[in-house]
Amino acid sequence: MSDRPLTYGSYLKVPELLGLQENRSAPAHHDEPLFIIIHQVYELWFKLMLHEIDSAVELLGADRVGEATRLLRRVVEVQRVLVAQVKVLETMRPQDFLGFRYHLNPASGFQSIQFREIEFLLGLKDPRILEHLRSEPEETARLAARLATPSLADAFAALLRRRHPEAAGEDRQLEALVAIYEAPEAHADLLALAEVLLDIDENLSIWRAHHVQMVERMIGARRGTGGSEGVAYLQSTLPKRAFPDLWRVRTRIGQEPA
Ligand code: HEM
């Protein structure tokens, strides 16, 4: 421990943080710092999201629904920032990106381990992702561990089974949700949680949609640096849902007028 008093910079490790942006273009392209910083900022927010969702899973396991919901609301607000950030990137012109894009090859956002951890932790577990990833062994191991640990969707399903024993069995979860949505005052805490989960799912979809639109604006129909078809591949991910029953329940509740 140093005997110097703590400062803003030493507490937050600002000098180290500011030393982490290394242009690969030489001479440095004007827009490469934007590209590096925006990705690094995303990764920092991803780290916080994982921290909050991990805690929420644990809290749900202990039936602390209100506290889990509070932390998940924070995740929703972070996601709003993530969506808004896409606009900052759109201030870059396609020709600017082309000016340094070849230096990134074959790196791609596809390889963001934390993004995949978030997907797996929410409940979108796809073991094929592990086969297609090029990353450090310890990162791959971290992601593989996520496959084996209960997701937020699992924790929510287990909570529903505890509170609505008639909801045991996958196909019964939807029935429990119908009961909750149709008697909101009797299940206020579960309903608040369900709506926050839906917000998280919706914000992830909105991010995917904004990202693919931005990608089309930037590279048109070119292939991705990660080797995918690019925009066509990203469009195929748009229907992903971590909490499909929370979308289905909308069709089931309420009476149709006779
Ligand atoms: C100029 C900016 C960007 C372009 C042109 C771009 C392009 C692409 C493309 C083409 C893919 C498909 C995989 C591939 O073949 O490479 C992809 C995937 C992805 N990108 Fe970006 N991207 C950009 C910025 C970002 C930013 C700022 C993030 C924030 C972390 C990001 C995160 C991701 C993620 C997570 C995937 C995987 C999506 C999935 O498989 O569901 N991208 N990107």
pLDDT in tens, 229-247: 999 999 999 999 999 999 9
- Residue among 207, 209, 198, 177 at smallest CA distance from 241: 198
**Average pLDDT score over residue span 18-31:** 97
**Average pLDDT score over residue span 20-44:** 97
Residue from 39, 89, 92, 108 whose mutation best tests the ligand 1 pocket (most atoms within 8 A of CB): 108
**Average pLDDT score over residue span 188-210:** 98
**Average pLDDT score over residue span 206-221:** 98
Distance 194 CA to ligand 1 centre (A): 29
Is the Cα dihedral 166, 167, 170, 175 positive or negative? Answer: positive
- 172 falls in which pLDDT band (50, 70, 90)? confident
Distance 154 CA to ligand 1 centre (A): 28
Percentage of residues in the chain with pLDDT exceeding 70? Answer: 96
Cα-Cα-Cα-Cα dihedral of 131, 149, 79, 237, to 10°? 40
Distance 235 CA to ligand 1 centre (A): 12
Q: Is the CB of 85 inside a 6 Å radius of any atom of ligand 1? A: no
Q: Is the CB of 114 inside a 6 Å radius of any atom of ligand 1? A: no
Q: Is the CB of 118 inside a 6 Å radius of any atom of ligand 1? A: no
Residue 72: enclosing H or E segment and its boundaries?
helix 65-89
Residue 168 above 90 pLDDT? no
pTM (2 decimals)? 0.96
Q: Is the CB of 230 inside a 6 Å radius of any atom of ligand 1? A: yes
Instruction: For residue 27, say if its preceding peptide bond is cis, omega within 30 degrees of 0.
Output: yes
- Residue among 20, 36, 24 at smallest CA distance from 100: 24
CATH topology of domain 25-252: Methane Monooxygenase Hydroxylase; Chain G, domain 1 (1.20.58)
Lowest mean pLDDT among 72-81, 105-114, 160-169, 208-217: 160-169
pLDDT at 134: 75
**Joined tokens for residue 10:** 């030493």
Distance 106 CA to ligand 1 centre (A): 12
Distance 151 CA to ligand 1 centre (A): 24
Q: Is the CB of 213 inside a 6 Å radius of any atom of ligand 1? A: no
Cα 134 to Cα 20, 47, 146, 231, distances in angstroms: 21, 20, 17, 20
Residue from 211, 217, 222, 228 whose mutation best tests the ligand 1 pocket (most atoms within 8 A of CB): 211
- Residue among 180, 212, 215 at smallest CA distance from 194: 180
Residue from 32, 38, 110 whose mutation best tests the ligand 1 pocket (most atoms within 8 A of CB): 110
